[in-house]
Structure 1
Amino acid sequence: MKKRFLDTAVVAMTLGTAVCSVQAQDVDVLSGDTRLACEAILCLSTGQRPSECTPSLDRYFGIKKKKLSDTLEARLNFLEQCPVADQTPQMSALVRAISRGAGRCDASSLNSTLRMWTGGDGGEIQISDRMPDYCAAYTGQAYTDFSQTGPKYVATPEKGGYWVEAKDYEREQADYNVRQAVERRNYWWGGT
């Protein structure tokens, strides 16, 4: 909890320092999309999103184009309106990671996009336990708290594994273990 708070605080301090220097030049700079872009960066850097994030997240996720690549580029352009978006290499990396991963790296999205057919008539559908590179960059970014709040994988692909939200991980893992124990018992004792 302390690490998550500190990581988010680092982003907030970085944004706050830049905001103060920008505000000294022009008080009206942080309004409209500029303000929403800065708020979106803060809100998308954590898995804990308060209701104050709603306007900026609505604006960010409201950016949609016909092609996914165009949507991601337009969202990046939106985030780059924040004065600190390119102030340091770390902030540039954060903004790029957000633009590629936000809204695409939660458990539900991972379970649907990482489905794979294992092949043949006897094959089955498995869900990969390996995050796409864009999700690994987003959830592993130093200025986010996703190491604590990001999705977690239950079991292994071969054993019916799947992604869950971090808050549900312990319960889901325990439920999975119970199901596996019942299956083993039924297999050995011939029960149903």
Structure 2
Amino acid sequence: MQTLPALRAGALAFACALAPLAHASDAADLLTGIPRLACEATLCLSSSLQPGECSPSLEHYFGIKRFNRHGLDWNATVAARRSFLGQCPAATDPGMPERVDAISHGAGKCDANYLNRAYAALAYQWRIRGYRQATDGGTREPVYEVHALDTVTLTELPAWCVTYNDHAWTHELSVRYVGEPRMGGHWVKAEDFEAAQARWDAQHGGTWAQGWNFTLTDPRRGSID
């Protein structure tokens, strides 16, 4: 992954990096109004580092919302945001249409915090402590000891997040999944993965796991995954 042009260099440097222009004088004309905001938004949405200079373009971008009679129309909102980003002069360069599409789908929805919230679920740590006679006099029933665990069921990124995170101009957006869904897995920033995975291994091994089963369904409620 390559590092983005330094943010302090501003939108002009980024726009020039994205779309080399035949005449330098054209850059000033292109980077005004909506085209300038679109280029700045493309820059700012390509990094987890978002200084105050990003505020106008990000406010404009996230302020683009479309509604229908049921509330927020996500598909229409994505299309409108894509159209806005498409007004950056670089948006038609090789690879950029896919980039703009990935940003419009993924911005704000591909970071660890969002993924952990959106795909949160419960897993179950359980074991059988004994048996008791069924109330109808039939086969004995198991007596379970069960503990609910917070977990995240999504272990692979959606396609647009892969494109969004792995583009050559993306900076510090990548995330990785730690652990297993049945044992409290979750997403972290890629830079924190090794430490997080080591911590998860230490917390979820040994006596914590010995003699226990781990499932995504409560064993007391029928079938077990």
Q: Which residue of 2 aligns with 1:110?
A: 115
Q: Which residue of 2 aligns with 1:50?
A: 51
- Structure 1's unaligned 5+ residue stretches are none
Q: Which residue of 2 aligns with 1:84?
A: 90
Q: Which residue of 2 aligns with 1:94?
A: 99
Asked if 1:40 corresponds to 2:62, the answer is: no
Q: Which residue of 2 aligns with 1:156?
A: 180
Matching residue's letter, 2:182: E
* Contact preservation (8 Å) 1:37, 1:80: yes
* Contact preservation (8 Å) 1:63, 1:75: yes
Q: For 1:128 and 1:100, how far apart are their aligned partners in 2?
A: 17
Q: Which residue of 1 aligns with 2:64?
A: 63
> Computing the radius of gyration over CA atoms, which structure comes out larger, 1 or 2?
2
Q: Which residue of 1 aligns with 2:16?
A: 16
* Contact preservation (8 Å) 1:116, 1:128: no
Q: For 1:83 and 1:30, how far apart are their aligned partners in 2?
A: 9
What's the RMSD between the two structures over aligned residues?
3.3
SS at the partner of 1:153?
strand
Give the superposition deviation at 1:152.
Answer: 1.7
Q: Which stretch of the first structure deviates more once superposed, 63-72 or 14-23?
A: 14-23
Matching residue's letter, 1:136: V
* Contact preservation (8 Å) 1:116, 1:126: yes
Give the superposition deviation at 1:19.
Answer: 7.0
Q: For 2:210 and 2:38, how far apart are their aligned partners in 1?
A: 58
Q: Which residue of 1 aligns with 2:201?
A: 177
Higher strand share: 2
Structure 1 19/180 Cα, relative in aligned 2: closer, same or farther at 3 Å? same
Higher helix share: 1
SS at the partner of 1:163?
strand
Matching residue's letter, 2:207: R
Q: Which stretch of the first structure deviates more once superposed, 133-142 or 59-68?
A: 133-142
Matching residue's letter, 2:90: V
Matching residue's letter, 1:141: H
Give the superposition deviation at 1:162.
Answer: 0.5
* Contact preservation (8 Å) 1:126, 1:161: yes
* TM-score, with length taken from structure 2: 0.65
Asked if 1:4 corresponds to 2:10, the answer is: no
Matching residue's letter, 1:132: P
Structure 1 105/26 Cα, relative in aligned 2: closer, same or farther at 3 Å? closer
* Contact preservation (8 Å) 1:22, 1:83: no
Deviation string for 1:167-190 (max 9, x for gaps)? Answer: 543443343223214xx325659x
Asked if 1:142 corresponds to 2:171, the answer is: no
Matching residue's letter, 2:116: N
Give the superposition deviation at 1:42.
Answer: 1.0
* TM-score, with length taken from structure 1: 0.75
SS at the partner of 1:53?
helix
